[in-house]
Amino acid sequence: MSLRLGTPRQKEEKAEVDVLIIGAGPAAFGAALYSARYKMSVLVVGEFLGGQLNNTSEIENYLGFERISASELIGRFRKHVESYGVKIIQDRISEVKRDGEGFLATTKRGMKIRSKAVIIAIGLKRRTLGVPGEKEFVGRGVSYCSICDAALFKDADAVAVVGGGDSAMEGATLLSSYAKKVFLIHRRSEFRAQPILVEEVKSKPNIELVLDTVVTEILGDKSVTGIRVKNLKTGEERVIPVKGVFLEIGFEPDLPFIQNLGLETDDYGFIKVHGYMETNVKGIFAAGDCTDLWKAFRQIITAAAQGSVAAHGAYGYVEELKLKDKKTPSSP
Ligand SMILES: Cc1cc2nc3c(=O)[nH]c(=O)nc-3n(C[C@H](O)[C@H](O)[C@H](O)COP(=O)(O)OP(=O)(O)OC[C@H]3O[C@@H](n4cnc5c(N)ncnc54)[C@H](O)[C@@H]3O)c2cc1C
What strands, in cross-sheet order, belong to the sheet with 224-231? 213-220, 224-231, 237-241
Q: Which atom of ligand 1 is nearest to the CA of 93?
A: 42
Smallest CA separation from ligand 1 atom 12, residue: 299
Rg over CA atoms, the chain: 23
Predicted confidence (pLDDT) per residue in 126-153, tens digit: 899 999 999 999 999 999 988 888 999 9
What is the three-class DSSP state of 310?
helix
Domains 14-126+251-327 and 142-247 in one fold: yes
Averaged pLDDT score across all residues of the chain = 93
Full strand arrangement of the beta sheet holding 159-162? 142-143, 244-247, 159-162, 182-185, 207-210
What pLDDT was estimated at residue 3?
41
Question: Which of 99, 148, 157, 266 is an active site residue?
Answer: 148
DSSP characters for 258-273? Answer: GGGG---B-TTSPBP-
Q: Tell me the residue length of the chain.
A: 332
Q: Is the CB of 53 under 6 A from ligand 1?
A: yes
User: Of the CATH numbers 3.50.50.60, 3.30.70.330, 3.40.50.12780, 3.10.129.10, which one belongs to the domain with range 14-126+251-327?
Assistant: 3.50.50.60
**How does pLDDT run across 82-121, given as a tens digit for each residue?**
999 999 999 999 999 999 999 999 999 999 999 999 999 9
Report the separation in Å between the CA atom of 256 and the middle of ligand 1, taken as the mean of its atom positions: 18
Helix, coil or strand: residue 287: coil
**One-letter amino acid for residue 120 of the chain:** I
Is 290 known to be catalytic?
no
CATH (residue range 142-247): 3.50.50.60
On the CB side of 311, CA atoms within 13 Å amount to 25
Q: Work out the average pLDDT over 314-318.
A: 97
Domain boundaries, the chain: 14-126+251-327, 142-247
* Tens-digit pLDDT profile for residues 2-33: 344 555 554 568 999 999 999 999 999 999 99
DSSP code per residue over 40-82 = --EEEEESSTTGGGGG-SEE--BTTBSSEEHHHHHHHHHHHHH
Q: Is 73 in the pocket of ligand 1 (CB under 6 A)?
A: no
Angstrom distance (rounded) from CA 307 to CA 292? 14
Q: CA 245, CA 224: separation in Å to the nearest integer?
A: 8
By most ligand atoms within 8 Å of CB, the mutation choice from 122, 292, 293, 295 for ligand 1 is 122
DSSP, collapsed to helix, strand or coil, labels residue 148 as: helix
Q: Is the CB of 30 under 6 A from ligand 1?
A: no
